[in-house]
Chains A and B, each alone.
Chain A
Amino acid sequence: MPTGLVFFPAFDWAITPTHPEREERLLYTRDQLFEEGIMDLPELIEYKPRLALKKDIARAHFCVPDIETQITDAHLYAAGGALVLADALMNKEIDNGFALVRPPGHHSMRVVHGNRGFCNIHNEAIMIEYLRKKYGLQRIAIVDTDVHHGDGTQDIYYHDPDVLFISYHQDGRTLYPGSGFCNELGGPAAFGMNINIPLQPYTTDEGIHYLLDNLVLPILEDFKPDLIINSAGQDNHYTDPLANMRFTARGYAKLNEKLAPDLAVLEGGYAIESALPYVNTGIILAMAGLDYSWVREPDYKEENFKETKENMDYIKELADYLWRVWKEREQLAEQRYERKEKFEEVNRHIYYDTDGIREQQHETIRICDQCPGYQIIRSRGMYSTGKVRVIEAVAIHHRACKTCQEEARGYYEQRKREREGLDVVYLQDKPGDRYYQCSADGEIEILD
């Protein structure tokens, strides 16, 4: 079966005219792909994106004050492009698929007050929730190969024991968004399901592939997911203007060959001339099982991409450490979280770089012996205009037990009645696949 491709470069959409996330971003990639004649190969089949529905978005996000405010058609087509491939995969039309779409999504968190790291809504999370609901998939693994920490993905799946998230990224002390450290391992119900691999600046193909072979692939083999998704950012490339890594087009292609993701979705990557045309060609060829050895950047020389001994030592140590964490995650979880408590509470701050929004979150996590529970998020968004919005959102896990489901729904009903101080109250009822939000204008169910 062929490899499915959705190419949605959104040639008529930009954040601002000179922003890295602008019309031009995939222009040279288009030229390269079209000139290669890749779409004519029997190994590839091109699909047209469709519009994602609001309900698809509501499965992954709480948009403040509503979905319409947070998105444009470009977002709906980008997310819809991923959904088209998800369907094609499940209908056995394709072996695997790559959604080469923009705008990206992996910095979008559960609560969306605005644009963070060029993202408003999370294309992969929307796709995953769709796959789980429509096709009943259980275990999903996401491997993020964007140079930035996939903090949106981490946030959305932090309490979900069925979704394993592994993120490669440049160390948060040296790059946006400043998170993604080894000790961010997952909430009480999903401890060890969130693996961060912070890399030193200037890490090369060699280092990234060492971690792939000695950490990522063994974990995946152990976890046995129903589906592997690649959050396929391309800003680890050695020419990327926003980061400092030394990954090559061939390194990316080889990574995709070994990882063999079922679905890949484009994230960042802003070396629009020197990297993207080559990296995308490489990834597509690798996914389609075609020879990618002719793909190389104009200035590529193999000898320039060797690891220093110092960095290699760090990498080996990191791989050993994280492997131990993975193997011992259950014992470690018991040490970390007091199981006697029914609720765990967390406070944190989130910054929206693009829109200049500061958010305060208070999260109440229901810990249950029977199920992955639910969470209540109280979020206060402070906008650059001085405006403040406060919301509360209830998120129930797919496999929540009857008691947890009733508790969570009860809480939502109560908040709906006593809404003082809150702009919007949300319910994300995944077991029932129903999504509501209630504001001064009344309650609405989010459908299509």
Chain B
Amino acid sequence: MLIGLDVGGTYTDAVLLDGQQVIKKVKTPTDNEHLLDTLVSALDPLLDAAQGESLERIVLSTTLITNLIATNRIEPAALVIIPGPGLNPYTYDYHVPDTFLLSGAIDYRGREIEPLDQQELKKCAEEINKKGLKKAAVVGKFSQRNKKHEETVATYLKEHIPDLCVLMGHQVTGRLNFPRRIHTTLLTLATQENYNSFYSEILKLLKKRGITAPLYILKADGGTLSFELSAAKPVETIFSGPAASTLGVLALTPEGETSVVVDIGGTTTDLALILSGRPLFASRGARVGDRLTQVRAFATSSAAVGGDSCLEVENGALKIMPYRKGPAYCLGGACPTPTDAMRVAGLTELGDQQKAIRAMEMLGEGLKLNPQETAELVLDKTTEKIIAEIEKMFLSWEQEPAYRIWELRQKKKVRPNNLVGIGAASPALLPLLGKKMGCNALIPPNAEVANAIGAALAKVNLRLTFHFDTERQFFFIEENGIQEKNREVKTLADAESFAMSRLIEEGKKLGIDVNDQPELVYSEVFNMVRGWRTGGRLIDVCVQFPTGILKQQEEGDH
């Protein structure tokens, strides 16, 4: 059996699954100040229901990291950057008062084009020491292609400052984007400690209940990872909520279809896309507050309308406000809401019919419409707003820049087969949305705990993007910062088979099912021509065990 727990900002969902079958589900409010208590109250009923049957794993999706960052409960750290030539490094604000700039530069091929300055480094270490900082992030431009400068600086700082905790950019992410690498490194450094202490509490709590099943964590990219491994990069667990709900929908809808995940909440409607059975990823990495990171996450979007959105009339026009004043009028709230309109239109049994009519009357006065007409208008406006956001999401996916002819050529206009509703107000509104968009409106069974189901069923995923430089006889891996010498890889075929065997090797370490099919995501080769002759090659190969959900038959094997 599997347990999935999704600790959201407002509610915590939990399920006990046997295969894909829901044995028990729990929904309880989240107490953000006492997340452990929330976990206990969600978990215990499931353990009772399991009646001692063996648990394979517990998967947790949590807002812990989001909360830590949002509330700024993070310790100050020094930021040491080695920007080299290019953009003025002060263009971006990293919100770090103790930022140190070092000279020295690595270029796009990983060649040192300017050495470090020993005097500067010495002064930097003295300053950090003087300020009593306990942590430092060291990030260089193109450090993913040559970690030498970062390592020299880190080693020096550690030697000269006792107990300094140093994290280097290349350890965190190897994707191109120096400012994002800085932010991601800072966030990783800032959250590691709290993450560790939170999870040691959870482990204690599980141990007390005699649970030996491994604890897995859901990441923003929809994959799970055992807790011990996730501790290196806690920032990857941020925003796992949308990943959980999307995976939940994946589990609850027919395979291979294109669906929009629609989560209609109080004042917002959250959206995610599944294209031909594959969740859509954000093209560049998650935004955390005002920081752009390199955390791989699902593409999500949000329309500023929900069941409790306050409705007003301004200059004879209906307006949907971005806030709420308590629940819907028909449920004892203060102002008319889309939920009242749904009640009047007979789309829901929720709340008091008379109050709902009264709400539409109040609103209709300024619009010179009767309650029925007013409700219709409200539903029109509400659905329009959500549909516009859905269209925008598809459009921005279509408009994503591409740098190859085949990529530009293959991107066709795609529209969804299904709208899949989760969240409180979805059942009432979804059929209307589906009708307007000409696609199926699905409210799958157990939709209210889709997030927990998604977490429970999430597969361990792994993506490795290799960059080989055969001239420099070297390669690095974007995702884990590995940089190694390599003499064997000379051709694209060499590179592909090397990457694939490395993927399988690394996958085993993570506990990926050996029966899972690894995929070649893309591979391309650039011949380096110097003086009209071919020299070395630059080869990019991306391989993965994709994000997805455990399938029924695979579960049956156990």
Chain A residues engaging chain B, CB cutoff 8 angstroms? 7-13, 17-18, 22-24, 27-28, 30-32, 34-41, 46-49, 73-74, 77, 241, 273, 277-278, 281, 285, 290-291, 293-298
Contact = CB atoms under 8 A, between A and B. Distances in A.
A309 to B, nearest CB: 31
Nearest to A12: B404
Interface residues of B, number: 43
B509 interface: no
B87 A294 contact: yes
30 contacts: A8-B403, A12-B524, A13-B405, A17-B527, A18-B527, A22-B527, A22-B529, A24-B527, A28-B109, A31-B142, A35-B108, A35-B142, A36-B141, A37-B87, A37-B179, A40-B179, A40-B284, A40-B292, A48-B401, A48-B408, A49-B408, A277-B107, A281-B87, A285-B87, A290-B88, A291-B88, A293-B88, A294-B89, A295-B86, A298-B107
B401 A35 contact: no
A294 B86 contact: yes
B402 interface: yes
A281 B107 CA distance: 14
Contacts of B408: 48-49, 73, 77
A17 B92 contact: no
A46 B346 CA distance: 46
Interface in B528-558: 528-529, 531-534, 538
Contacts of B406: 12
Contacts of A34: 176-177
Contacts of B176: 31, 34-35
Given A294-B87, A298-B113, 12 more contacts: A11-B404, A24-B538, A28-B108, A31-B108, A37-B177, A38-B87, A48-B399, A48-B402, A48-B408, A290-B88, A290-B91, A294-B86
B108 A32 contact: yes
Contacts of A41: 91
Nearest to B180: A37
Interface string B173-204: 00011111000000000000000000000000
B156 interface: no
Contacts of B534: 17-18
Contacts of B274: none
Nearest to A273: B109
Interface in B278-328: 284, 292
Contacts of A77: 405, 408
A41 B447 CA distance: 39
A298 B114 contact: yes
Contact of B86 (A7, A11, A36): A36
Contacts of B332: none
A74 B527 contact: no
B526 A24 contact: yes
Contacts of A297: 85
A10 B406 CA distance: 9
A97 to B, nearest CB: 14
A24 to B, nearest CB: 5
B462 to A, nearest CB: 23
B413 interface: no
B177 A294 contact: no
Nearest to B176: A34
A84 to B, nearest CB: 10
A411 to B, nearest CB: 39
A12 B405 contact: yes
Nearest to B144: A35
Contacts of A27: 526, 538
B400 interface: yes
A290 B89 CA distance: 11
Contacts of A17: 527, 529, 534
A34 B529 CA distance: 22
Contacts of A46: 401
B177 A35 contact: yes
B91 A291 contact: yes
Nearest to B287: A40
Nearest to B285: A40
Contacts of A47: 399, 401
A290 B403 contact: no
B87 A18 contact: no
A291 B87 CA distance: 7
B526 A73 contact: no
B87 A290 contact: yes
Contacts of A293: 88
A74 B405 CA distance: 6
B81 to A, nearest CB: 13
B130 interface: no
B409 interface: yes
B85 A295 contact: yes
B105 interface: yes
Nearest to B524: A11
Interface centre among B87, B109, B404 (most CB of A within 10 A): B87
Given A18-B532, A35-B141, A298 B401 contact: no
Nearest to A17: B527
A402 B189 CA distance: 74
Nearest to A26: B403
Contacts of A9: 403
Contact of B528 (A24, A32, A36, A281): A24
Contacts of B538: 24, 27
B47 to A, nearest CB: 45
Interface string B218-249: 00000000000000000000000000000000
A7 B88 contact: no
Contacts of B179: 36-37, 40
Contacts of A31: 108, 142, 176
A18 B404 contact: no
B284 to A, nearest CB: 7
B141 A73 contact: no
Contacts of B405: 10, 12-13, 73-74, 77
Interface string B75-109: 00000000101111101100000000000010111
A35 B399 contact: no
Contact of B529 (A18, A35, A295): A18
Contacts of A74: 405
Nearest to A73: B405
Contact of B401 (A7, A24, A294): A7
Contacts of A241: 531
A399 to B, nearest CB: 36
A306 B153 CA distance: 37
A136 to B, nearest CB: 27
B8 to A, nearest CB: 28
A30 B177 CA distance: 11
Given A48-B408, A290-B87, A295-B85, A18 B533 contact: yes
Contacts of B142: 31, 35
Contacts of B87: 36-38, 281, 285, 290, 294-295
A347 B92 CA distance: 58
Contacts of A10: 403-405
B109 A73 contact: no
B533 A37 contact: no
Contacts of A294: 83, 85-89
Contacts of B529: 17-18, 22, 24
A8 B403 CA distance: 5
A290 B176 CA distance: 21
Contacts of B528: 24
Nearest to B114: A298
A349 B404 CA distance: 36
Contacts of A13: 405
Contacts of B532: 18
A37 B178 contact: yes
Contacts of B86: 32, 35-36, 281, 294-295
A48 B177 contact: no
B225 to A, nearest CB: 27
A24 B292 CA distance: 29
A198 B375 CA distance: 73
A285 B87 CA distance: 8
Nearest to A31: B108
